Amino acid sequence: MEGVGTSSSASSKAPGNGLLKAAVACFVVGVVAVVAIFLVPALTDGTPGLLLYLLTLAWPLGFALAVAFALKSGRRARDGRNT
């Protein structure tokens, strides 16, 4: 019962966990940029800048990184189960 309630876990130090964090960060940045593209013309009479359009590319990048993380962690779990 010594490990119950501790905040540090083995999963937070697992290799590839940074890939998941990067995927979530890219995904969130992309979603916020898409929302901002729709809000800029609604709130102001201007057009969204090029930077917002470029930031929307983070959305599919985050999705691709999440798929890569899922494939990598699935392979690791499958290899660990067979031994």
The answer on pLDDT for 37 being more than 80 is: yes
| pLDDT exceeds 80 at position 57 | yes
How much is the pLDDT for 35? 96
Confidence of residue 56 (pLDDT cuts 50, 70, 90): very high
| Phi, psi (degrees; rounded to nearest 5) at 15 | -65, 140
Beta-carbon contacts of residue 29 (< 8 Å; ≥ 6 apart):
55, 58, 59, 62
Reply yes or no on whether the pLDDT at 71 is more than 70.
yes
Q: Is the pLDDT of residue 55 over 60?
A: yes
What average pLDDT does the chain have?
82
Q: What ranges do the domains of the chain cover?
A: 17-78
